[in-house]
Amino acid sequence: MDYVHEPVLLAETIAWLRCTPGGIYIDCTLGGGGHAAAILEQIKPGGRLLGIDRDPDALEAARRRLAPYSGMVSFIQGNFRDLTQLVASLGVEEADGILFDLGVSSPQLERPERGFSYHQDGPLDMRIDPNQATTAADLVNDLPQQELARIIWEYGEERWAARIAQFIVAAREKAKLKTTGELVAVIKGAVPAGARKKGPHPARRTFQALRIAVNEELDSLAPALEAAVNILKPGGRLCVISFHSLEDRIVKRTFRRLARGCTCPPEFPACVCGRQPLVKILTRRPVTPTGKEVQENPRARSAKLRVVERRAGVLKTEGGE
């Protein structure tokens, strides 16, 4: 199957990135190279793009798509949680703009052998990077029932999480779950018939939760965003496209934290924290797709774009909210 992926919020992202000829830009989730191709058109002549992705299939597809810009692009297989090290390894210290397009792409979802799809039977895998050790089958067959329920509830926001975990444990006691089809059957058995008749596919939220857990997607997001801000030049912009509320919540909270200045209580005679705002939030409300884009690409319906601009200042490590 060809790796064909339609980039979401393309025109809006390029406009907010404010690409300039000769600039340095980083696509932290290169995918099939759709956003990257548009960026490269804007930054020639003399521009440079660093393209990062965990999926070797995506990188290979991007190499083909971006072949006309080969002298301007550096391809890196890696996790954006290691953004600082990946960028430094290429001798880059600062960037004019950085993009994150979160989640998985249509080609990954549509290939049953990758194990992301609850519509097609395939191995219970779900690894974005096929070289990593842990698969969805490992989680489903080895985790305690309570931990499975927690993952399905927290990462999938699934109201039937406890019941689904109970049914999974009962099923695996008879035989290990090895395929997506087997897991879907267990989930359908766990979700009451009335709940299955309305709303999305009964396995959607559980599959989302397992995918997030397998790839540790949420754990690495906030640190990666902070690293990106630290790499930006003053005036440089960071654009993040998210597709579900868990991602968007982390993006929003991280941007708000980085945009805050002094937090000393009003009764202090003078500031003692010395905290300076690192970014300016440019999108008070997230940018969402037009009705036309959603009609042409239904996957775009839940997309949200948030943008910040780097101010002058030094990033300080701060734990949590």
Which residues in the chain belong to E strands, given as ranges? 24-27, 48-53, 73-77, 95-101, 232-242, 279-281, 304-310
**Alpha-carbon span 165 to 138, nearest angstrom:** 14
Using only C-alpha atoms, the chain has a radius of gyration, in whole angstroms, of 21
pLDDT given at position 320: 41
Contact present, 44 and 22 (Cβ < 8 Å): no
Domain with CATH 3.40.50.150 in the chain: 10-103+218-310
CB atoms within 10 A of CB 28: 27
- How many whole angstroms separate alpha carbon 200 and alpha carbon 187? 13
**Cα–Cα dist 267/126, whole Å:** 52
Residues of the chain with pLDDT under 70: 1-5, 262-263, 267-274, 313-321
Interatomic CA distance for residues 304 and 239, integer angstroms: 10
End-to-end CA distance of the chain: 43
CATH 3.40.50.150 fits 10-103+218-310, yes or no: yes
Q: What pLDDT is stored for residue 263 in this prediction?
A: 67
C-beta separation of 17 from 39 below 8 A:
yes
Helix spans in 68-179 (H): 83-89, 106-110, 136-142, 145-156, 161-174
pLDDT of residue 63: 95
274 φψ region: left (φ > 0), alpha (ψ -120 to 50), beta (else): left
pLDDT of residue 176: 97
pLDDT at 193: 87
Task: Tell me the whole-structure pTM to 2 decimals.
Answer: 0.90
Tell how far CA 320 is from the center of its chain: 19
> E strands, 5-148, where?
24-27, 48-53, 73-77, 95-101
What 3-state class would DSSP assign to 232? strand
Are residues 135 and 141 in contact, defined by beta-carbon separation less than 8 angstroms? no
| Three-class secondary structure of residue 163 per DSSP | helix
CA distance 71 to 47: 10
Q: Is 107 helix (H, G, I), strand (E, B) or coil?
A: helix
Residues of the chain with CATH 1.10.150.170: 108-215
**Sheet of 24-27, strand order:** 73-77, 48-53, 24-27, 95-101, 232-242, 304-310, 279-281
Class of domain 108-215: mainly alpha
